[in-house]
Amino acid sequence: MTRGRLVALVIAWLAVVLVMSFRARTVGTERVLSGRNSFNPSLTTARAAQEGLPDIQAPPFAHGAAVALAGGLMRELMAALEEGDAVSSIGVCGEAASRIAAEVSEEKGVEVGRVALRLRNPANEPDAWERAWLKASRGTRGENPAAPLGEYRDLPDGRMEYAYLMPIYTAPLCMQCHGGPADLGPGVSEALAKAYPDDQATGFELGSLRGAVRVRFLVRETEAGQFK
Ligand code: HEC
């Protein structure tokens, strides 16, 4: 082997090791939190195969439902902002979120919604598992973004559910209702104070973690055949 080739090989190897150790670090924290082989969608798929679960491919199925909510919401927000302004669109982020969530639930047979640490609507409160993950996710959209989290859970009645979280980061369009004083659209502070007196969901920086889409569904029926 020529010297040049050897150097190229060593550089390639170093690059692979670097990427792997970075990946191991993120997956590592996540694993500790969930206490299961979760966070890495391909690992959970492996568990499904091991356990002889239905060929539902839980992680991509869950991801599809999460994207359906996030994407649908984004489209409606953009349309509302184009037609009116931030103040006239304030209702959309809430109204459209619950309507689209209901549609996705109906169509896919899943529970889907949004959760966050700093809340505007107290109904979007995360559970302990979600809270731990949101707190541990320190990255931004551009730097070390969080990987989606997925976990199979045994339920007391013998059924098993799959729970999934997809991170949501702020995009420029979100800033007029979730950013700091300089980003908020005209009249937004006042309108928010009226509609959400306990609002904690302003002051976000562009690209920061705003919250997550939550998806849950049953993957294994009980002996009595209660499969949702
Ligand atoms: C026009 C104003 C407006 C814009 C633009 C907007 N939001 Fe919201 N957002 C709201 C309102 C109002 C709520 C509370 C909804 C409710 O009552 O359920 C909310 C709630 C949320 C929640 C649920 C958690 C909570 O605090 O209740 C998330 C997550 C969220 N927004 C993310 C985003 C993201 C990401 C964007 C950009 C893609 C965005 N929002 C753009 C007004 C807005």
Question: Above 80 in pLDDT, residue 10?
Answer: no
Q: Which atom of ligand 1 is nearest to the CA of 81?
A: 1
pLDDT tens string 19-74: 444 343 333 333 333 333 333 444 555 566 666 655 457 788 899 999 999 999 99
Supply the residue whose CA is at minimum distance from atom 38 of ligand 1. 174
What is the model's pLDDT at position 183? 96
What is the model's pLDDT at position 158? 79
Summarize the confidence of residues 6-19 as an average pLDDT.
60
Q: Which residues line ligand 1 (CB under 6 A)?
A: 74, 77, 86, 89-90, 93-94, 97, 114, 116, 119-121, 124, 168, 170-171, 173-174, 176-178, 201, 210-211
pLDDT tens string 110-140: 899 999 999 999 999 999 999 999 999 988 9
Q: d(Cα 169, Cα 177) in Å, to the nearest integer? A: 14
Q: Please indicate whether residue 57 or residue 158 has the higher confidence score (pLDDT).
A: 158
What is the model's pLDDT at position 223? 52
Instruction: Please choose, from the candidates 45, 82, 93, 84, the residue with its C-alpha nearest in 3D space to the C-alpha of residue 219.
Output: 45
Classify 163 as helix, strand or coil: strand
Tell me the pTM: 0.78
Instruction: Please choose, from the candidates 185, 155, 159, 158, the residue with its C-alpha nearest in 3D space to the C-alpha of residue 173.
Output: 185
Determine the residue of 178, 189, 190 to mutate for testing ligand 1's pocket, defined as the one with the most ligand atoms within 8 A of the Cβ atom: 178
Least confident of 62-66, 99-103, 155-159, 160-164: 155-159
Order of strands, sheet of 111-115, starting from the edge strand that comes earlier in the sequence: 111-115, 209-220, 160-169, 149-154
The 8 Å CB, 24+ separation contacts for 174-183 are: 174/204, 174/210, 175/204, 175/206, 176/81, 176/86, 177/86, 177/89, 177/90, 177/93, 177/202, 178/202, 178/204, 178/210, 179/203, 179/204, 179/205, 179/206, 180/204, 180/205
What is the model's pLDDT at position 9? 67
Q: d(Cα 219, Cα 159) in Å, to the nearest integer? A: 7
Query: Sign (positive/negative) of CA torsion 80, 84, 85, 88?
Result: negative
